[in-house]
Amino acid sequence: MNKMLTLSIACMALVFSSAMAPAQQNGLKDNDGKGKVGRQLNQRREGMQKLLQSLNLTEEQKTKIKEIMKKSREDVQAVLKGEGERKDKAEKVKAIRKETQEAIRNVLTDEQKKKYDEAVSKAREKTSLKRDKRDKKV
């Protein structure tokens, strides 16, 4: 269970990693580059790697997913660098994430999709729990 949760978080991390890069460039890291944003980014990347390893992807699938992720990062960076309100940008990034997840699912076999969906679901649960806990503190 925990392994799948970690893998799910990792998957999501890769998708969101492009959103974190501009934040790191805007001074949200400490002197050694391992501030909160940097740590989160590393955790997300590691989680994504674990998820992909657990899916036993073929070389063709790996190549396709790398292309999907590269395009996603580029699209997110373009949105974040563009003009507009923060709320509008957030909605655009959310749409890109959804498209990316669907594109990844289309590369997977039925068995892999099941594992992937479980991992994503668990990551969402964990994020929701963290958000609820944070909101209660405020």
Q: What is the DSSP string of the chain?
A: -HHHHHHHHHHHHHHHHHHHHHHHHTT-S-TTS-SHHHHHHHHHHHHHHHHHHHTT--HHHHHHHHHHHHHHHHHHHHHHHSSS-HHHHHHHHHHHHHHHHHHHHHHS-HHHHHHHHHHHHHHHHHHHHHHHHHHHH-
At 68 the pLDDT is 93
At 37 the pLDDT is 57
Neighbours of 30 (CB within 10 A): 12
At 74 the pLDDT is 93
**Is the separation of the CB atoms in 88 and 80 below 8 Å?**
no
How far, in Å, CA of 47 to CA of 83, rounded? Answer: 31
Name the residue ranges covered by the structural domains of the chain. 2-124
At 6 the pLDDT is 46
State the 10-residue block means of pLDDT for the chain, 138 residues long: 47 48 41 57 74 89 93 91 90 92 95 91 82 75
At 131 the pLDDT is 77
At 3 the pLDDT is 52
